[in-house]
Amino acid sequence: MKGLAKHQDAMGQAMYDYFRGHGGYEIVERDDGFAGPSGGGKIYLAPYEVWSVHQQRTIRLARGRVLDVGCGAGRVALHLQSKGHDVVGIDNSPLAIKACRLRGVKQAKLMSVTQVSQRLGMFDAIVMYGNNFGLFGSFARARWLLRRFRRMTNPGARIIAESRDPYDTTEPCHLAYHRLNRRRGRMAGQLRIRIRYKTLATPWFDYLLASKNEIRAIVDGTGWRVDRFIEAKGPGYAAVIARV
C-alpha cells in the first residue's frame, strides 16, 4: 500500500522524532486560516498508565482480534498486544508505521482507513482512539465505511471511537467556522485541515468532529447501533458502537 510521500508525512515525522528522543509539536491548520499546536508526540507514545480515565475504561471493552485505525506510534496496539490480543494497526504515515514496528507492534500496516477490507481478515473490535472518529471524514463517507466495517467484523463486534462535540465551544472563530460549513453544505464539525511540522505538510483532508446525536444519525441503518457514550473531561467522549 502507498502512504504519504516523505514531504507530506508531517505527523509521522513528529512522532518519529519524539520516539528518537527529540521534542516537537505539529501544527493543525484549518482551511479558514485557523492554526494551533497539537498535544505533541508524548501523547502518541503514552503508556496505558497515563492514559485518561475514559480511555482506560473503554479499552477494556475490546475483545478478540482488534483493528487499530490510525494507530500512530502504536500506543493502543502495544497495550492490547500485552493483554494477549491479536492486533492489526493501520496508518497512512510511513514514519508512524516505522515507529510502531521499532516499538514492537507485530502487525503494523501502511494503509488508509478507506483501504481496509476483508483482506485484512475478520475482527471482533475496531478501535479509533485519539478523536479518530474524525477519520470518517464526512456523513456519507462514515456510513460507507461503517458498512464496510460490518463486512469485516464478527457478530458481537464493537467499534470504540473517540470524538469531540464541536458545539461545546464559545470561541468566535470556531462558531464562525460552523456557519461557514453550513453555507457550504457541510456538517458544522466537518473540518478541512492539514498537519504541518517543520517544513513538512500533509495534503488537505476532511476530519469530522460530531455530537452524540450526529453520531446516532450517522450510525442509523448501517448495521451498527450506538451502545453507549463514555464521558471524558471537556468536550471529548468515547462512543461504543455495537454490530447489529
What pTM did the predictor assign? 0.96
Confidence of residue 75 (pLDDT cuts 50, 70, 90): very high
Give the structural domain span for 143: 6-243
Establish if 1 belongs to a structural domain. Answer: no
Establish if 41 belongs to a structural domain. Answer: yes
Average pLDDT value for residue range 51-55: 94
Phi, psi (deg, nearest 5) at residue 47: -75, 160
Spell 205-231 as b/e; 16+ CB within 10 A means b: ebbbbbbeebbeebbeebebebeebbe
Give the residues across from 200 on adjacent strands.
197
Residue pLDDT, tens place only, 183-227: 999 999 999 999 999 999 999 999 999 999 999 999 999 999 999
Measured between its terminal Cα atoms, the distance across the chain in Å is 31
Estimate the crossing angle of helix 94-103 against helix 10-19, to 10 degrees.
Answer: 30
Establish if 84 belongs to a structural domain. Answer: yes
Residue pLDDT, tens place only, 79-102: 999 999 999 999 999 999 999 999
Establish if 237 belongs to a structural domain. Answer: yes
Phi-psi region of 24 (alpha: psi -120 to 50; beta: other; left: phi over 0): left
Cα–Cα distance for residue pair 42/80, rounded to 1 Å:
19
Confidence of residue 230 (pLDDT cuts 50, 70, 90): very high
Note the pLDDT of residue 38: 87
Give the domain CATH number at 154: 3.40.50.150
Establish if 23 belongs to a structural domain. Answer: yes
Confidence of residue 25 (pLDDT cuts 50, 70, 90): confident
Cα–Cα distance for residue pair 210/106, rounded to 1 Å:
32
Establish if 147 belongs to a structural domain. Answer: yes
Extract the C-alpha cell encoding 6.
Answer: 516523505
Checking if the pLDDT of 157 tops 80, the result is yes
Q: What's the number of domains the chain is made of?
A: 1
Establish if 210 belongs to a structural domain. Answer: yes
Establish if 82 belongs to a structural domain. Answer: yes
